[in-house]
Structure 1
Amino acid sequence: IVDIPAQILISTVPIILFIIGSTEDCHILAEYMEGLKKKPDRSFAIHYYAEKVALAITLTSLTTIIGFLSITMNEIVLLKEFAIVTSAGLFFNFIITGTIIPVYLRFFGEKEPPKSLMNPNSLSERFFKSLLAKLCYILEFHRRHTIIVLILFCFFGIGAATLIKTDIDNIRVFKENHPFRQKIMQMNENFEGGINNFLVVLHADGDKPFKKSVNMRKVFEIHQWVNEQKELGISQSIAGTLALINREMHDSDPKHYRIPDEDALISQYMLFLSKDDWEAFISPDYNDVNIIVRHKLSSSLDTEKALNKMSKKLDELLEGTGITYRFTSKLFLQNAASKTLVKTQVEGLILILVCIFLLIGLLYRSSKIALISLVPNVVPIIGIFAVMGLFDIPLDIGSCLIATIAIGVATDDTIHFFTRFNEEIKQHNDALLAAQETLKHEIKPILTTSLSLSLGLGIMAFSSFIPLIEFGVLTSITMLFALVSDLLITPALLVSSRVDGAISLYEILTTKLSPRILSQSLMFKNMNMNDCKFLVLSGKIREFKPGDSDDLFTNRQDSVFVILEGNMKLVKKAERSGDDIEHIDIAKLAAGASYGQSRLSGPHYVKASNFTRVLEINTKFISRIEKKRPDLARSLRENLTLAQETAVY
């Protein structure tokens, strides 16, 4: 449709879509299995995973697409085409993930969790449990050491990354034993000077300036200097031809292999040459001269070094002559492309990180969370650039994609981790416990995707095409950096920075509460709907299925529970003769009602009449609210004190 031809970079698009797409799929399947554990029903499990990962998948897809679109800032057409195709593929992957996967699971998904998941003694479960215990131990007792190591790693990695060189080499893309590379090397040896070339174009103003001996001698000096440079090979120019004619006119005397001093001799020697002999080397008006430099260089880096050396020499030789020079060849396109890679790589990475910061900052309305989210995404980039610098792997068209993929994978896992952590801290009111619970739920999908993709991409190491080898190996290493970043660094930062959870715009817009809650609940007295939403989204929500009960005697003494949805019955246990216990319904509690264990005499419990959701409010929860909304916390504390003066509220 957009007339983009197949090319080497586009051939990697299926691999990239597989890498990023499978990351999302693993998180979906992990939550689907969690849903089956709660209730062995496909529809329930689908709704469960949708509720858990819908926001995270939307956000990760958006940031990843923006990341690849940033590559379109590049001036290299191959990279622009690659960015467009990959971004389109990621968009379609997002659509398929949201539509096809739930349909497939509805008809063909597992009906109950695999036995290995339900068996705590299975090999996989024991492995994950052991790893989780180690991670939780490090998080609890060594998170400061983790952050110190992170800082040292960043300093070392940035230093090593400065060693990276940009290079485009059309010969190096093949292994040394590859037939094509061997034939190229053979041709370079057999062809005098080499098979590559570039032009030095000299220009002078005036009336036929290069018919004058003084100017042509400068051309010959350059011609001779080039022939003396091993890295440049040989040169061909009109000056060399005229010097050769001059030598032969003096009985092949080597001393006369030079430009004659008389201008008239130059005009006479030109008569020996046909138009075919000189038109490639000098213009008809004698204002421009070409020097063809043949060489064996294929690396843009080596070529740039040679050109810089030659530029200094030309500046020295042509100083004060009025002669200007310029280089021209397809090699300069390679040099320009290699410089463009660095520029656009930096610009693209900055754009991606800014977009991630803005998206997460706006979504969670917290610059602190947005800033923390950048760290796990930057670590894999620093790590892989450090590896490239230390092992002298150049930045080329293939390896320049690694950073974007690193952010794509790291961002996916980081956002899933943040989303889960945000839920857990509301349930536990404790950052450390919330991070440990998050690790418990996220360790399987993160570890599974990272290791499987790392091993899968490592197969590219057996390719005969070096860019694919580097792409596969570097991407595999990137997966491992992202794995360590998500499982060690992210939780350590969340706990150490005392992140207290956040409410996303998505949650605010999608949360619906009955107006009855405001009018009937004593806990929400003197509050508006926005205040009520803030409390509900910040707190621990407990869910009860029809028939589920909650023993008030075992509940925390300072907790009050507000019914947000559904109906419950307050039931009293009364002892009868013998061991019989009579259950007496005391009251019906609707949405907006509150209950708690304070001055109730005897054992009581509440029983759900239908699906019911309740919000738990206690002093620890109010302390969390006080950090963000002191005014709201003050009202809530007053309402809690007032409510606790009665048995059922």
Structure 2
Amino acid sequence: MVLVFQQSDTAGDSLPDDVVAAQLATSDIADRTVESTDAFVFGAGIVNERSGQATGESFAVITPFALLLIVGVLFVAYRDLFDVALGLLGTLLVLVWMGGFMGWAGIGVTQIIIAVPFLLVGLSIDYALHVVMRYREARADDPDRSPREAMRAGLAGVTVALAATTFTTAVGFTSNLVSSIASIRQFGLVSAFGIVSAFVVFAGLLPALKLELDGLLERLGFDRRKRAFGTGTSAVNRLLGVGATAARRVPVAIVLVALVVSAGGGYAATDIDTSINQVDFLPRDSPDWMDSLPGPLRPGDYELRENVVFLNDKFVQSRDRSEVQILVEGPVTSPDTLDRLAAARESVGESSTPITLASGRPSVDGPLSVIRRVSARNETVAQVVAERDADGDGIPDRDLRAVYDAVYAAAPDEAAGVVYREGGEYRAVRLSVAIRGGSDTGTVTSEMRAVAASIEDGSDLTATATGQPVINELVQRELLTTLVETFLVTLGVIVSFLTVIFYRRYGTLSLGAVTMVPVVFALSWILGAMYLLGIPFNTETAIIASIAIGIGVDYAIHISERFVEELSDGGDPVAALETTLAGTGGALLASATTTAGGFGVLLFALVPSLQRFGLVTGSAIVFAFASSVVVLPSLLVLWWRYLGTDAAVDDSTAGTTGD
């Protein structure tokens, strides 16, 4: 290995452009001058450059697939070119507004922010589908209605649901503002702005454009009456009717099964992995099938992962990310202090994550190492050490103050690196343990804390394991704790808001809480799925909760709002569910398919973190949809049977309990 050192006056986590350029130039020099095909150059700048390149190439490959999927589903749902164009135009406006807000707020593009456009595309399509499909239903219900009257009737039924969805979804994402991680706070802020923008565009602008366009086309002789997706006798209608059938026949069984599965998911979440492995974030080489893509779309070859694994396995690294510090505070001049440190070194050697040197011993630096190095070249220090080694094992075990004094006098810089003194008093000592690169941070933390505990045991010393690997692990655990806390706060705010809305509109105090139950179910399901798939909960997946809550509340509100609206028109619960799932459920199905598909194509990305994000987010959307159209109908039937008497619905529904 040849090491090249660079110097920069720029502070912060990001590398200056000239440093990155120099590393890339070094790689080019190595390619030209080193004959061995096994030679490579590795550095943080190269990792950043190649990772960014892999992300760009990933989106170049998957964007056409995502676009084809979304447009294809929209054509199936709308069966109308003009409505598809209107929906895409509104989506484009939302994305432009989001980009302008990011510019004004000084928020840059990060790997987490990349998820926001996917989210807003899905939410925009959802809003557009609900507006257009309710408009189509209104025209179909009364053929004598003018387009303007039909739009007014359609918006009357869906605008409140859209407004409630916007508020609750924005709250779900705004909860990220309490995070201690800046990128997650920015994600929440940008998402909330984009969600409000989607409401303004699709509840205000789209209806006006739709009326003007339909009026123009009808004057030209085109028939603009279209059937709403999911209505009629289509296979989609029969599929969506499964929830209503189950609610009619076995509602209690459906709720119990969902409850048991949710309890299992919640229990699994308590043991979900919170570790982070930097190697897992490096791009992989493209699969063979991508080699057949056209030239502009064909991705390059990436060997970063293989290179860093080789370095981690073969070389000791002294980077902050590869070291754990054990700080020992208290009476460090006690006779047995250095013996305890020697025993701790042996414990380190029995652990799995520290580096093992060619000598077979772990790479540990501390007071003993410095004392031995200084003694080897300074006779005075060697004599002081020998005189204070009562048992002859080479480790001083009495009058350690004199030993520390001698080392400080002979090599003050080295001594200050491992022994801390203040006002002539020795306060603390430090052990530095080299960790194998790519080690699981959870394992590192548990092993090094065990070593620290062995130093403390039976003494007045206090030993603390710290360092970047330990800090990373604690941050991930804090993220999970923050998730639980913010979810509870968000849940309370949303339930309170929905309670007020449903009480003002329908006189029921309990429907808001019932509406949120499937959202909680869906969140527990995705956490359980992450546990089963071995996907850790860390900074890349921490925003899943916001997406699961935001999308889940969106779907659930539309179902509950439409159900109670249909009841107020004099229908029985099962008939109201059938109408709800045929109309609103069809819009949700098209929305869920496009949103989950848009995130799902991230599975073809070259960056593993994007693949995991796409898998988990797509699964969260599928779970939210399934919970809303399968579990929520049964909950609504049970709610009507036992709690629906507090609902101020039409008198014609009084006494109806369903079958």
Fold shared per TM-score above 0.5: yes
Separation in 2, partners of 1:19, 1:191: 46
List aligned pairs for 1:74-85, cutoff 5 A: 74-85=179-190
Separation in 2, partners of 1:230, 1:62: 49
CA displacement at 1:407 relative to structure 2: 1.8
**Residue of structure 2 equivalent to 1:524:** none
SS at structure 2 position matched to 1:171:
helix
Pick one of 332, 335, 348 that aligns with 1:226: 348
List aligned pairs for 1:59-70, cutoff 5 A: 59-70=164-175
**Residue of structure 1 equivalent to 2:327:** 201
Does 405-414 or 264-273 show the bigger shift?
Answer: 264-273
Pick one of 304, 307, 315 that aligns with 2:456: 315
SS at structure 1 position matched to 2:418:
coil
CA contact (8 A) 2:284 2:606 kept: no
The answer to whether structure 1 residue 35 and structure 2 residue 138 are counterparts is: yes
The answer to whether structure 1 residue 242 and structure 2 residue 378 are counterparts is: no
**Residue of structure 2 equivalent to 1:454:** 596
**Residue of structure 2 equivalent to 1:291:** 431
Q: Unmatched 5+ residue regions in structure 2?
A: 1-103, 286-301, 356-362
CA displacement at 1:164 relative to structure 2: 1.4
Given the superposition, is the C-alpha separation of residues 203 and 156 from structure 1 closer, same or farther in structure 2, using an over 3 Å criterion? Answer: closer
| Partner amino acid, structure 2, of 1:288 | A
SS at structure 1 position matched to 2:640:
coil
SS at structure 2 position matched to 1:498:
helix
CA contact (8 A) 1:417 1:442 kept: yes
**Residue of structure 2 equivalent to 1:577:** none
The answer to whether structure 1 residue 192 and structure 2 residue 316 are counterparts is: yes
CA contact (8 A) 1:76 1:337 kept: no
**Residue of structure 2 equivalent to 1:259:** 395
Separation in 2, partners of 1:405, 1:461: 18
Does 182-191 or 129-138 show the bigger shift?
Answer: 129-138
The answer to whether structure 1 residue 10 and structure 2 residue 113 are counterparts is: yes
Given the superposition, is the C-alpha separation of residues 432 and 472 from structure 1 closer, same or farther in structure 2, using an over 3 Å criterion? Answer: same
Bigger helix share: 2
List aligned pairs for 1:156-171, cutoff 5 A: 156-171=264-279
Bigger strand share: 1
Does 293-302 or 129-138 show the bigger shift?
Answer: 129-138
CA displacement at 1:462 relative to structure 2: 1.3
CA contact (8 A) 2:364 2:431 kept: yes
Pick one of 132, 149, 152 that aligns with 2:260: 152
Given the superposition, is the C-alpha separation of residues 275 and 386 from structure 1 closer, same or farther in structure 2, using an over 3 Å criterion? Answer: same
CA displacement at 1:314 relative to structure 2: 1.7
Separation in 1, partners of 2:477, 2:405: 46
Separation in 2, partners of 1:66, 1:201: 42
**Residue of structure 1 equivalent to 2:536:** 394
CA displacement at 1:298 relative to structure 2: 4.1
**Residue of structure 2 equivalent to 1:117:** 227
Q: Unmatched 5+ residue regions in structure 1?
A: 505-533, 540-616, 626-649
Structure 1, residues 388-433: CA drift from partner, whole Å, max 9, x if none?
1222211111222222211211211211112211121122342122
Pick one of 413, 416, 424 that aligns with 2:566: 424
Does 167-176 or 348-357 show the bigger shift?
Answer: 167-176
Pick one of 502, 518, 521 that aligns with 1:376: 518
CA contact (8 A) 1:364 1:502 kept: no
**Residue of structure 2 equivalent to 1:338:** 476
Structure 1, residues 532-553: CA drift from partner, whole Å, max 9, x if none?
xx7xxx33xxxxxxxxxxxxxx
CA contact (8 A) 1:223 1:237 kept: no
CA contact (8 A) 2:559 2:580 kept: yes
Given the superposition, is the C-alpha separation of residues 462 and 431 from structure 1 closer, same or farther in structure 2, using an over 3 Å criterion? Answer: same
| Partner amino acid, structure 2, of 1:197 | E
| Partner amino acid, structure 2, of 1:444 | G
Given the superposition, is the C-alpha separation of residues 270 and 356 from structure 1 closer, same or farther in structure 2, using an over 3 Å criterion? Answer: closer
Separation in 1, partners of 2:270, 2:341: 39
Structure 1, residues 309-354: CA drift from partner, whole Å, max 9, x if none?
22321222xx33x433333423343133112111110112112221
CA displacement at 1:621 relative to structure 2: 5.2
CA contact (8 A) 2:243 2:631 kept: no
CA contact (8 A) 2:283 2:304 kept: no
Separation in 1, partners of 2:263, 2:303: 43
Pick one of 540, 548, 556 that aligns with 1:414: 556
CA displacement at 1:304 relative to structure 2: 1.8
Given the superposition, is the C-alpha separation of residues 107 and 247 from structure 1 closer, same or farther in structure 2, using an over 3 Å criterion? Answer: same
**Residue of structure 2 equivalent to 1:305:** 446
Given the superposition, is the C-alpha separation of residues 269 and 223 from structure 1 closer, same or farther in structure 2, using an over 3 Å criterion? Answer: farther
The answer to whether structure 1 residue 91 and structure 2 residue 196 are counterparts is: yes
CA contact (8 A) 1:454 1:480 kept: yes
TM-score, normalising length from structure 2? 0.69
CA contact (8 A) 1:69 1:83 kept: yes
Pick one of 631, 634, 648 that aligns with 1:489: 631
**Residue of structure 1 equivalent to 2:616:** 474
**Residue of structure 2 equivalent to 1:606:** none
| Partner amino acid, structure 2, of 1:293 | V
CA displacement at 1:261 relative to structure 2: 5.4
Separation in 2, partners of 1:276, 1:190: 30
Structure 1, residues 12-37: CA drift from partner, whole Å, max 9, x if none?
21112222232222111211222343
**Residue of structure 2 equivalent to 1:128:** 236
TM-score, normalising length from structure 1? 0.70
CA displacement at 1:129 relative to structure 2: 3.5
CA displacement at 1:257 relative to structure 2: 7.1
CA displacement at 1:60 relative to structure 2: 0.6
CA contact (8 A) 2:325 2:465 kept: yes
Structure 1, residues 158-213: CA drift from partner, whole Å, max 9, x if none?
333333122233222235665333232222223236751122222345xxx65x86
| Partner amino acid, structure 2, of 1:117 | R
Separation in 2, partners of 1:323, 1:622: 73
SS at structure 1 position matched to 2:110:
coil
Given the superposition, is the C-alpha separation of residues 323 and 371 from structure 1 closer, same or farther in structure 2, using an over 3 Å criterion? Answer: closer
Given the superposition, is the C-alpha separation of residues 457 and 24 from structure 1 closer, same or farther in structure 2, using an over 3 Å criterion? Answer: same
Higher relative contact order (CA 8 A, sep 6+): 2
Given the superposition, is the C-alpha separation of residues 82 and 257 from structure 1 closer, same or farther in structure 2, using an over 3 Å criterion? Answer: farther
Separation in 1, partners of 2:127, 2:645: 23
| Partner amino acid, structure 2, of 1:91 | V
Separation in 2, partners of 1:381, 1:261: 57
**Residue of structure 1 equivalent to 2:305:** 181
**Residue of structure 1 equivalent to 2:163:** 58
Given the superposition, is the C-alpha separation of residues 312 and 260 from structure 1 closer, same or farther in structure 2, using an over 3 Å criterion? Answer: closer
Pick one of 482, 502, 509 that aligns with 1:364: 502
Separation in 2, partners of 1:53, 1:349: 27
The answer to whether structure 1 residue 352 and structure 2 residue 490 are counterparts is: yes
Share of identical aligned residues, percent?
A: 19
| Partner amino acid, structure 1, of 2:491 | L
Given the superposition, is the C-alpha separation of residues 477 and 290 from structure 1 closer, same or farther in structure 2, using an over 3 Å criterion? Answer: same
| Partner amino acid, structure 2, of 1:186 | F
CA displacement at 1:53 relative to structure 2: 0.7
SS at structure 2 position matched to 1:279:
helix
Given the superposition, is the C-alpha separation of residues 221 and 490 from structure 1 closer, same or farther in structure 2, using an over 3 Å criterion? Answer: closer
Separation in 2, partners of 1:273, 1:119: 84
Pick one of 178, 181, 186 that aligns with 1:73: 178
Structure 1, residues 628-649: CA drift from partner, whole Å, max 9, x if none?
xxxxxxxxxxxxxxxxxxxxxx
Does 10-19 or 492-501 show the bigger shift?
Answer: 492-501
Given the superposition, is the C-alpha separation of residues 262 and 341 from structure 1 closer, same or farther in structure 2, using an over 3 Å criterion? Answer: closer
RMSD of equivalent CA atoms: 3.5
**Residue of structure 1 equivalent to 2:407:** 270
Separation in 1, partners of 2:480, 2:225: 51
Does 343-352 or 328-337 show the bigger shift?
Answer: 328-337
Pick one of 249, 267, 286 that aligns with 1:141: 249
Given the superposition, is the C-alpha separation of residues 28 and 363 from structure 1 closer, same or farther in structure 2, using an over 3 Å criterion? Answer: same
| Partner amino acid, structure 1, of 2:370 | T
Given the superposition, is the C-alpha separation of residues 243 and 221 from structure 1 closer, same or farther in structure 2, using an over 3 Å criterion? Answer: farther
Given the superposition, is the C-alpha separation of residues 621 and 443 from structure 1 closer, same or farther in structure 2, using an over 3 Å criterion? Answer: closer
Given the superposition, is the C-alpha separation of residues 475 and 430 from structure 1 closer, same or farther in structure 2, using an over 3 Å criterion? Answer: same
**Residue of structure 1 equivalent to 2:462:** 324
CA contact (8 A) 2:326 2:452 kept: no
